Amino acid sequence: MRFVVSFVLFVVAASPLHARDSLGVFGQWGAFRDAEVPRCYAIAAAQGEGSSAFATVATWPERQVRRQVHFRLSRALQGSGNVVVRMGDQEFALAGDANDAWASGADMDARIVNAMRGASRMSVSATDAQGRRFTDRYSLEGAATAMDAASVGCSSQD
């Protein structure tokens, strides 16, 4: 229950204020539909008290974008490079800017989402503005179900 309350507060704090419909909370991940944009997304907070980091996998029907991976990092980046997401023995280089990182394109998004489906944990490592390496860690419990709920949530808007 503590996680659900923390998660709801996290989502409210991390998102602009406008209408969102909850599609459900699945393990450590939630799924939401934002009809105003429109978009649907699965989201999870990074593990660790007070972390501002989160991961999303979003569908934007009007943009013809499906399952786009995005990470809000816990620290500002040094430049734009050396951001890596890892799941098990799979590793993917990400593009980064300021506090954000994302896949280089739709093919990379698909590969990352497929890796997320088969792993239990995920980490994103980068170098911060002070030149120190850091890692944001995520549980993938419920990620596949939340991603599916987000996709279904926007399927009627395609």
Write the pLDDT tens digit of every residue in 83-137.
Answer: 999 999 999 999 988 899 999 999 999 999 999 999 999 999 999 989 999 999 9
Number of domains into which the chain is organized = 1
Q: What is the pLDDT of residue 62?
A: 81
Q: How confident is the model at residue 158 (pLDDT cuts 50, 70, 90)?
A: very low
| Helix H or strand E segment including 146 | helix 143-155
Q: Determine the structural domain holding residue 148 and report its residue range.
A: 2-155
Q: How confident is the model at residue 11 (pLDDT cuts 50, 70, 90)?
A: very low
Q: What's the whole-number average pLDDT of the chain?
A: 85
Q: What is the pLDDT of residue 92?
A: 96
From the list 63, 64, 67, 65, the residue with the least C-alpha distance to 55 is 67
CATH number at residue 110: 2.60.40.1880
Q: What is the pLDDT of residue 156?
A: 60
Give ∠ CA 99-103-104 in degrees, rounded to 5: 115
pLDDT digits (tens, 9 = 90+) for 57-78: 998 888 888 899 999 999 999 8
pTM for the full predicted model: 0.83
Q: Would you say residue 43 has pLDDT above 90?
A: yes
Mean pLDDT of 27-41: 90
Backbone angles phi, psi at 108, to 5 degrees: -65, -40
